[in-house]
Structure 1
Amino acid sequence: MKTASEFSSPPQDYNVIVPDGWFQLSLEPEERDRCIAALADLQFRGIDNAPHLREQFMRDVQRKAKDAYDVGGMELYLSTLVVGPVPLASSLLTSMPDPDEWPKCSDAEELAEHLAVLDGGEPEGELGVVPLDVAGMAVRRRRRDAPDPAAQLGNTLPTTTLTYYVPIPATTRWLMLSFSTPVDPLADQMVELFDAVAGTLHWVA
């Protein structure tokens, strides 16, 4: 497995390893509906008396998937994990911003400084540069935002977001890993999981 510094030409792809129980939802319009139906089947397995909840769930996921696709999303993972009666709701969106919509930053340190300036010099939450074992240096940003029920599948709790901005070797492009969870009481534990997933990122030659 090649590290970021060993690439003299752009990688062909990337991989991350996600936990069992994270459902990969295709964002491509021609595959989206089939994936959403499969996710609904999984979520409502054994529940036959809640057709309205199922329909609402599918509409909410459809909106989330469309919004993700519209901002350049490539892969969307949704957690179906449950601990006892508590669903460990979380998601991961991978995306590659359009160069025209992205600051001309050459490395992680420069991007972190740029993001801090956008915050008025006082970063919201946590902002810093961290090493990923194989993928190289990355900007890591953690924030806690007010709930947005209309955009977050009805969630009414604060949402913790963890974003990694990773420069793609031998290019001027960046890969974003955007994790989020509305499970506010377990936010720190969920962030530990997100950090572990980000640590598995590697480039494919």
Structure 2
Amino acid sequence: MEAPRDYELLVPREWFRVDLMRDRWRSQLKTFVDRQSEGRNVSAELKRDVWTALRNTAEAGRARGAMEFFLLTISRDGGLPASLLVSLVPLGDTPADPEKYAAWLELREPEGAGRRHVSVVELTAGPAVRVLGATTLNVHVLMPGGVGYLTLSFSSPVMGMAGPMERLCDAIAGSLRWVE
């Protein structure tokens, strides 16, 4: 099977999309921060701190192949309830077999209470390695054609990655489709 031309992902409309493949991504982040602070008593310092944190996350993601950044609304204290970073991870030294990739990731997990749960799941888009932590969920979906993995990195530092948030993130990951 050949590498897909693109992918489709269903994300709730409450999530703001930032296209990291275009030069205007910084202005998109600014628009997001401005919209979230509208009508609220938000200090310029808090807006600047939120903008800086989001910019740093986007820049770090871009350096690792991130293509899209989705953001759920900001809470009153400036925390970000949830985000999703979509990245292309070329195979390189990464095992192409999801079972081997899961085992490879499992070996790198530290022992103790913060240890993340690594498993292999079958999605409509194909086999995926699922890595669940207390506030994060990473889903590495093997791309057709041996291109690499499309990685969906969910983060929910305010609510944690359990219950409804975990189910929502799994549903978003389950909606992934390849475009031929």
The answer to whether TM tops 0.5 is yes
How far residue 37 of structure 1 moved from its aligned partner, in angstroms, is 1.7
Instruction: Please give the root-mean-square deviation of Cα atoms over the aligned residues, in Å.
Output: 2.8
- Look up the match of 1:201: 176
- Look up the match of 2:132: 142
- Look up the match of 2:119: 128
* Structure 2 gap ranges (5+): none
Q: TM-score scaled to structure 1, two decimals?
A: 0.77
From the CA coordinates, give the structure whose radius of gyration is larger: 1
2:50 to 26, 36, 57: 57
Are residues 1:77 and 2:77 paired?
Answer: no
Percent pairwise identity: 32
Q: Is the 8 A contact 1:92 1:179 kept in 2?
A: yes
How far residue 29 of structure 1 moved from its aligned partner, in angstroms, is 6.5
How far residue 48 of structure 1 moved from its aligned partner, in angstroms, is 6.3
Write the deviation string for residues 76-134 of structure 1: whole angstroms up to 9, x where unpaired.
Answer: 1111177x99x77101111112433x42x2321121122122337999221111111x2
Q: Distance in 1 between matches of 2:34 and 2:107?
A: 45
Write the deviation string for residues 122-163 of structure 1: whole angstroms up to 9, x where unpaired.
Answer: 99221111111x20111111012xxxxxxxxxxxxxxx1101
- Listed as ranges, the matches of 1:1-205 within 5 Å are 8-28=1-21, 30-47=23-40, 50-80=43-73, 89-100=81-92, 102-103=93-94, 105-119=95-109, 124-132=115-123, 134-144=124-134, 160-184=135-159, 187-205=162-180
* Structure 1 gap ranges (5+): 1-7, 145-159
Query: Which amino acid counterpart does residue 52 of structure 1 have in structure 2?
Result: E
Runs of 4+ in 1 over 6 A off after TM superposition: 120-123
SS of residue paired to 1:14 = strand
Q: Is the 8 A contact 2:73 2:80 kept in 1?
A: yes
Q: TM-score scaled to structure 2, two decimals?
A: 0.86
Residues 141 and 48 of structure 1: CA distance in aligned 2, closer, same or farther (over 3 Å): closer
Q: Distance in 2 between matches of 1:106 and 1:42?
A: 41
Q: Distance in 1 between matches of 2:80 and 2:163?
A: 13
